[in-house]
Amino acid sequence: MRTRTLLVALVASLCVTALGSGAVAGAPGTAQAVAPGAVSGGPPGSAAPSVVGAASASGSASPPVGHAGPAANGTIGYFDGYWYDTPIHVNQRDGLNASEARAYVRRTMARVEMIRHRNFERAVPVEVISRAQYQANRSPSGGSTEHARWNQQVWEAPLILGSKTNLSASMQSYYSNNVLGFYDSGANDIRIVVPSGKHAHIDHSTLAHELTHALQDQHYNLSKAKYSGQTQDRQLATSGLIEGGARYVETVYTDNCNNGTWQCVASPPSASVGGSGSSGTSTTGASANGGSSASPPLSLQLTLYFPYASGPGYVHDLLQRGGWAAVDAAWRNPPNATSTIIHDAPPVRKPVHLDRNAARNGWRTYPSQGVNGTDTLGEASIFVGLWWQSYEYGANVVPKRAIQGVNKYRSYRFVSAASSGWAGDKVLPYRRNGQNGFVWKSAWNTSDDASQFAAAYVRALKAHGASLRDGVWVVSKSDGYQGAYRVVRQNDTVTVVKGPDVSAVNDLRPSLAGNASHNPSSSTGAPGFGVLVAGAAMVAVTLLARRRN
3-state helix/strand/coil string of 243-296: HHHHHHHHHHHHHHHHCCCCCCCCCCCCCCCECCCCCCCCCCEECCCCCEECCC
* Residue among 289, 383, 396 at smallest CA distance from 341: 383
Give the integer Cα–Cα distance in Å for 362 and 347. 37
Q: Which helix (H) or strand (E) holds 474?
A: strand 472-475
Burial (CB count within 10 angstroms: exposed 0-12, middle 13-18, buried 19+), residue 306: buried
Per-residue pLDDT tens over the stretch 274-333: 443 322 222 223 333 333 345 789 999 999 999 999 999 999 999 999 999 999 999 999
Residue 457's nearest CA partner among 437, 476, 478, 473 is 473
Domain that includes residue 52, residue range: 6-330
Choice among 8-17, 99-108, 165-174, 420-429 with the minimum mean pLDDT:
8-17
Task: Give pLDDT, residue 269.
Answer: 67
Domain boundary among 283, 301, 330: 330
Contact 85, 71 (CB under 8 A): no
Among 1-5, 424-428, 530-534, the minimum mean pLDDT is found in 530-534
- The answer on 297 and 372 residing in a single domain is no
pLDDT of residue 196: 75
Residues 95-123 have a mean pLDDT of 95
3-state secondary structure 402-436: HHEEEECCEEECCCCCCCCCEEEEEEEEEEECCEE
Instruction: With respect to residue 484, please indicate whether it lies within any of the assigned structural domains.
Output: yes
Same domain, yes or no: 300 and 372: no
Q: Does any domain span residue 530? A: no
Q: Are residues 395 and 303 in the same domain?
A: no
Q: Is residue 212 part of a domain?
A: yes
Domain end: 298, 330, 362, which one?
Answer: 330
Same domain? For 300 and 360 the reply is: no
Q: Give yes or no: residues 375 and 318 share one domain.
A: no
Whether residue 410 is contained in a domain is answered as no
Identify the pLDDT of residue 133.
87
pLDDT score, position 428? 98
Residue 199 confidence (pLDDT):
67
| Pair 102, 177 in one domain | yes
Same domain for 310 and 380: no
- Are 452 and 314 found together in one domain? no
Q: Are residues 214 and 131 in the same domain?
A: yes
Indicate whether 405 belongs to any domain. Answer: no
Whether the pLDDT of residue 166 is over 50: the answer is yes
**Tally of domains within the chain:** 2
Between CA 361 and CA 367, with CA 364 as vertex, the angle to 5 degrees is: 160
User: 266 and 371 in one domain?
Assistant: no
Distance, in Å, from the CA atom of 367 to the CA atom of 360, rounded to the nearest integer, reads 16
Residue 228 lies in a domain: yes
C-alpha 155 chain-centroid distance: 14
**How confident is the model at residue 294, as a pLDDT?**
59
Residue 151: inside a domain, yes or no? yes
Q: Does this model's pTM top 0.85?
A: no
Residues 16 and 55 in one domain: yes
pLDDT in the model for residue 136: 85
**pLDDT for residue 67:** 73
At residue 468, the 3 state secondary structure works out as: strand
Higher per-residue confidence, 128 vs 504: 504
Q: Do 210 and 284 belong to one domain?
A: yes
Residues 325-377 have pLDDT tens digits of: 999 999 999 999 999 999 999 999 999 999 999 999 999 999 999 999 999 99
Is 67 inside a domain boundary?
Answer: yes
Residue 179 pLDDT level (bands cut at 50, 70, 90) = confident
